[in-house]
């Protein structure tokens, strides 16, 4: 898979730029706040319909414009595909594949990306919601329908929370309706938990070896932390335990007016030599884990979909030491299209730069 052309119209500070990306390695250099990250964000957005920086898509529109557009040409399995996305301040959007209106599910299945940014380096130090978000976005690259399950679960959870809040205001307790919400949450939530655990088990196998190569002696393990599950479980068992936990914590949920059980409360725990990395690992050790995870994402998406993702490296090299920099650059396969942003070319060896297409960006304007 290769992104061959990108055109941004009124996308943040990129009012009108077009880039020929028909190369395996592209380097975009420029000072901070000039638009480097905006370019990578737009590419990632085409693959997920989500920004890694904001949940409000209006922020993607340039201040002086009424709408933004992202257009890209892609070669996938020797087939040329055009992607187009338009979003307006009236919150209307249009998705296009080869100039034909498309459904989100079909649109997201075209382009695969792995984004490695400086924010990702803080994954272990962030909140559980940050780790859940990383996991969910990675799974969605493999199973586009997974997003629908997340949306369905959140919708039911919000409905249940509103029901519990109304109950606290004195509304009549409708036990049948609560049971309906719990049944739906247990079934939908269990599917999410099952897929999360399955994905983590698969990515752990790959990441464990990559981590060992960088660290030489340390052993990485990854656990999915769910309040009502201790061990591996099949889907039916997860549903049963989910329902049991909902029943056990019914009074607590009524008192707190919110759903206290489910995948929205879970976490991902990383261990180095059986010690919890969040608590005991150094900054370098934590960055090694994230580096191993991101490279493993590339492998697992390629294996599951048959499409090699576009790798997006957003100013991340400056935050890695020489050992991790070299491992990252040498781990990238020759056929993997890699788009890198950096302040300058100092971090790169002449041999690496020899085959790289370089763009400079200044205040949202591209210069060759």
**If you search the block for the tokens 């994905």, which residue do you land on?**
199
> What distance, in Å, lies between the first and last C-alpha atoms of the chain?
24
Q: Please state, in angstroms and rounded to a whole number, the distance separating the CA atoms of residues 136 and 153.
A: 13
Helix, strand or coil for residue 25? strand
- pLDDT at position 172 is 81
Cα(83)–Cα(107) distance, integer angstroms: 8
**Residues 111-119, mean pLDDT to the nearest whole number:** 93
Q: What is the pLDDT of residue 183?
A: 97
**What pLDDT does residue 144 have?**
82
Q: Which two tokens stand for residue 335?
A: 């056929």
- What is the rounded distance in angstroms from the CA atom of residue 80 to the CA atom of residue 73? 7
Query: What domains are defined for the chain?
Result: 1-112+307-368 (3.40.50.300), 144-306 (1.20.1050.90)
Query: Rounded to 5 degrees, what are φ and ψ at 224?
Result: -95, 120
Mean pLDDT (whole number) for 205-227? 94
Mean pLDDT, residues 255-272: 96
Please identify which residue in the block is written with the tokens 């990395």: 277
Q: What is the pLDDT of residues 300-342, one digit of tens each?
A: 999 999 989 999 999 998 889 888 998 998 888 888 999 999 9
Cα torsion at 28, 55, 291, 149 (round to 10°)?
Answer: -130
CB count within 10 Å of CB 280 equals 11
Using 50, 70 and 90 to split pLDDT, how confident is the model at 265?
very high
pLDDT on residue 7: 98
For the chain, how are helix, strand and coil distributed in percent, rounded to 5?
A: 45, 25, 30
| E-only strand ranges, 61-196 | 67-76, 79-88, 93-97, 100-101, 113-117
Rounded mean pLDDT of the chain? Answer: 94
What is the arithmetic mean of pLDDT over 28-48? 95
Task: Tally DSSP H helices, then E strands, for the chain.
Answer: 11, 15
Residue 368 pLDDT more than 80? no
pLDDT at 347 over 90: no
């Amino acid at each position: 898979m290769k992104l061959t052309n990108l055109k941004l119209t009124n996308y943040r500070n990129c009012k009108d730029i077009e880039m020929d990306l028909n190369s395996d390695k592209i380097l975009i250099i420029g000072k901070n706040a000039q638009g480097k990250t905006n370019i990578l964000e737009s590419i990632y957005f085409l693959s997920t319909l989500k920004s890694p920086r904001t949940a409000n898509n209006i922020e993607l529109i340039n201040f002086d414009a009424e709408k933004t557009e992202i257009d890209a040409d892609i070669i996938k399995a020797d087939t040329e595909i055009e992607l187009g996305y338009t979003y307006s301040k009236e919150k209307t959007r249009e998705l296009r594949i080869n100039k034909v209106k498309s459904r989100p599910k079909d649109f997201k299945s075209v382009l695969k990306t792995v984004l490695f940014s400086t924010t990702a380096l803080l994954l272990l130090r962030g909140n559980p919601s940050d780790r859940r978000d990383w996991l969910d976005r990675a799974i969605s690259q493999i199973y586009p329908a997974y997003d629908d399950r997340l949306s369905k679960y959140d919708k039911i959870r919000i409905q249940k929370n509103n029901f519990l809040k109304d109950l606290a205001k004195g509304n009549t307790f409708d036990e049948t309706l609560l049971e309906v919400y719990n049944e739906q949450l247990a079934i939908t939530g269990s599917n999410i938990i099952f897929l999360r655990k399955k994905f983590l088990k698969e990515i752990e196998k790959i990441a464990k070896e990559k981590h060992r190569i960088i660290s030489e002696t340390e052993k990485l393990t990854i656990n999915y932390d769910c309040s009502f599950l201790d061990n591996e479980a099949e889907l039916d068992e997860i549903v049963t335990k989910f329902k049991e936990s909902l029943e056990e914590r019914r009074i607590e949920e009524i008192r707190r007016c919110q759903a206290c059980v489910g995948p929205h409360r879970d976490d991902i725990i990383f261990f180095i030599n059986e010690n919890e990395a969040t608590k005991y690992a150094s900054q370098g050790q934590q960055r090694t884990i994230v580096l191993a995870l991101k490279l493993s994402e590339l492998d697992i998406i390629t294996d599951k979909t048959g499409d090699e993702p576009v790798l997006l490296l957003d100013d991340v090299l400056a935050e890695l030491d020489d050992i991790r920099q070299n491992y990252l650059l040498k781990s990238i396969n020759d056929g993997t299209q890699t788009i890198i942003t950096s302040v300058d070319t100092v971090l790169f060896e002449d041999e690496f730069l020899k085959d790289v297409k370089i763009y400079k960006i200044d205040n949202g304007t591209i210069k060759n």
